[in-house]
Chain A
Amino acid sequence: MSNAATQKRAFSAVLWDYLTTVDHKKVGILYLMGGGFFFLLGGLEALIIRIQLIKPENDFITAGLYNEMITMHGTTMIFLAATPLLFGLMNYIMPLQIGARDVAFPFLNALGFWLFFSGGILLNCSWFLGGAPDAGWTAYAPLSIQSPGHGTDFYVMGLQLSGAGTLMSGINFLVTIVAMRAPGMTYMRMPLFTWTTFVTSVLTLFAFPALTVGLFLLMFDRMFGSAFFDVALGGNSVIWQHLFWIFGHPEVYILILPVFGVFSEVLPTFSKKRLFGYSAMVFATFLIAFLGFMVWAHHMFTVGLGPVANSIFAVATMAIAVPTGIKIFNWLFTMWGGSIVINSAMLWALAFIPSFTIGGMTGVMLGSNVADYQYHDSYFVVAHFHYVIVGGVVFGLFAACHYWWPKMFGRILHEGMGKLAFWTFFIGFHLTFFIQHFLGLMGMPRRYWVFLENQGLDTGNLISTIGAFFMTIGTIVFLINIVYTAVKGEKAPADPWDARTLEWTIPSPPPFYNFKQMPLVRGLDPLWIEKTEGNGKMTPAEPLDEIHMPNGSILPLIMTAGFFIASFGFIYQTDHKAWLIALYAGMAIAIGCMVIRSLKDDLGFHISKEELEREAD
């Protein structure tokens, strides 16, 4: 048994440990905590939006604050909640699934987390410093150029920081999967979650630069007097839309592909069958990623790109239904004839299939450019993307939490509360968003502060708001479940679900070096193979030997603090040139840390053989 976990340590020691950690598991937990915090924040904003729309001509919040709410809800949920929660899972689980002791660049991993987190904090500082961004989460120019105050500046700098962090992590995962698989773990033996992590990282690598470029142009337009998007000075505001969606559309696949991977782990485990059509699933993942890069203009059908461009993008969009359909059917066939266990993780997975299919279907409807002129900017669109993002990503995150919680925290989440959270959230979700399809078809535009009485929108909006409260209750029950589990939860064995992949071969929670000896992988679902054909344990691929581990470092945090300070400098130097001091000082700190990191050799440390033998399990 690991001593560190049973010994009570001082709070400050734990804090210091997490601030300096480069361990992929701790970074993963940090991501989950950061993402979870912003998820609650975004949820609170959603609730305020729904309360404002509970009755016609409500004045719960002012119009300006409402604009800030919708902007921050979208931005927070996409960039600061969904993406980091998924990156946290990938960080924790993917190295365990391929039999690696850490990610390829542990230092970079920590830096990626701190950049994301400081970006999120920076963005939310705007609430207290004269108003949050209010140009919509898409920040379309020219609105975002003309938006007064510093709100949109915070949007630019905050997303730039967190975007850099995400990009770093993406590259890190790619190198990890290509270079650090255990002996025998060929590409076509990798679990689907690892595959989707890989493809997601490819998407991150190609999509985020477009956002970075777009944000730089916006930054220069707002802070340094350039005119990239200013039509009056010869710029072109449509370029922002293109750049944003060249990033934005792959981003939705960055969100959905990892949860496809989660379901491809959960469904086989609780159906006691191998995943149906493994190679088709891998192929479909690649196909979705490939097609995902040539569909961005379907967000812009009403801009006036012309019939030819619209048609090309419409056809490409509808083509994506094919690989997604392959996946849906493969999940159904995985369950077909299996001995199915229905627990909380499985409930979320089962609920995902019909919910996501509805979202996919409205997606194809929106993808038809002719029909889109009717749907555009109505609540129909809002209903569609909440069906795919909540019904897909959030359901997937809950399923993943229930499934991997024992592995990550050593305790099994309470089943009763898990089911209660599921049913309240599930019913609330459909109450909230199903009706919005019809609100949209009746002509309710999105992003409007109020709607008028007696236009047939009253009841629908009331139902929608009631649903939002149900979702809130579900989330609160889940939070209570977390606390309850942490205090009194059932201790988890190494393999509580009778599962199939490598992460279940090591103790829960795993020791900091993950694998004492590299496992020898004999095929897809390696643990299952050993259970059915071997003695139920992995055969080591190497003799017990010293393990080389990286040292922790505080530099990522300090470097990030430098960028954080510099961001304030960038934002406020338009008011007073004295803020340039903050800019230069912040940059100096960040670059100084880079120099230290480059010049100071840190060769890590070794865990001796004796120590490993002492920790015999």
Chain B
Amino acid sequence: MTENTSTNKINSYQKEKNREEMRKQIITFALMIFFTMIAFFAVAMGISSMFVIPLILILAIVQVGFQFYYFMHMKDKGHEFPALLIFGGIWVTFLVGVTFVTIIWW
């Protein structure tokens, strides 16, 4: 019986949560488009590439983070192992990259 009376409450809680989620998605989406525009304008305005390349790389990393955490739900519970594996993979790739750059090609 108690469950019956509280269904509305759960629904409204869920609704609130969904709304929150949607807002986050839209904000992230807008930010990503904004970042992309910054990247385009930085190139179009002909600023020195010493500045533009690091800027674009940083924006790219942030965007990958958004992609993982918001659009692919890595921020939600139950995604610890995928996160562990992704970061493990990034770490291995990073190590390999650093080694190749420093002791083979430098």
Query: Which residue numbers of A lie inside 8 Å of B, CB to CB?
Result: 174, 178, 202, 205-206, 210, 236, 238-239, 242, 246, 293-294, 297, 305-306, 309
Contacts and interface: CB of A to CB of B under 8 A. Distances in A.
Give the secondary structure class of B's interface. Answer: helix
B81 interface: yes
Interface string B74-106: 000000010001001101100110011011100
A294 B103 CA distance: 14
A206 B89 CA distance: 7
B104 A293 contact: no
Given A202-B85, A205-B85, A306 B91 contact: no
Contacts of B89: 205-206
B92 A293 contact: yes
Contact residues on B (Cβ < 8 Å of other chain), bracket: 10 to 19
A239 B96 CA distance: 11
Contacts of A174: 85
Contacts of A178: 81
Contacts of B95: 293-294
A317 to B, nearest CB: 14
B17 to A, nearest CB: 25
Contact of A236 (B85, B92, B104): B104
7 contacts: A178-B81, A202-B85, A206-B89, A206-B92, A238-B104, A246-B96, A305-B103
A95 B12 CA distance: 41
* For the complex of A and B, 4 pairs with smallest distance between CB atoms: A309-B103, A206-B92, A305-B103, A293-B92
Interface of B: 81, 85, 88-89, 91-92, 95-96, 99-100, 102-104
Given A242-B99, A294-B95, A206 B88 contact: yes
Given A205-B89, A242-B99, A306-B103, 10 more contacts: A202-B85, A205-B85, A206-B89, A206-B92, A239-B100, A239-B104, A242-B104, A246-B96, A309-B99, A309-B103
Contacts of A236: 104
Nearest to A206: B92
Give the secondary structure class of A's interface. Answer: helix
Nearest to B105: A236
A210 B100 CA distance: 13
Contact of B102 (A210, A246, A293, A309): A309
A178 B82 CA distance: 9
Contacts of B99: 242, 297, 309
A341 to B, nearest CB: 37
Given A293-B95, A294-B95, A202 B88 contact: yes
B96 A210 contact: yes
Nearest to B95: A294
A294 B97 CA distance: 12
Contacts of A238: 104
Contacts of A239: 100, 104
Contacts of B85: 174, 202, 205
Nearest to B91: A293
B23 to A, nearest CB: 30
Contacts of B102: 309
A242 B91 contact: no
Nearest to B82: A178
B85 to A, nearest CB: 7
Nearest to A309: B103
Nearest to B100: A242
A441 B62 CA distance: 54
Contacts of B96: 210, 242, 246
Contacts of B88: 202, 206
Contacts of B104: 236, 238-239, 242
Contacts of B100: 239, 242
A219 B99 CA distance: 24
Contacts of B91: 293
A138 B81 CA distance: 33
A202 B87 CA distance: 12
A206 B104 CA distance: 21
Interface centre among B85, B88, B103 (most CB of A within 10 A): B103
Contacts of B81: 178
A238 B88 CA distance: 25
B69 to A, nearest CB: 19
A350 B88 CA distance: 34
Interface centre among B88, B91, B95 (most CB of A within 10 A): B88
Nearest to B106: A306
A208 to B, nearest CB: 12
A306 B106 CA distance: 12
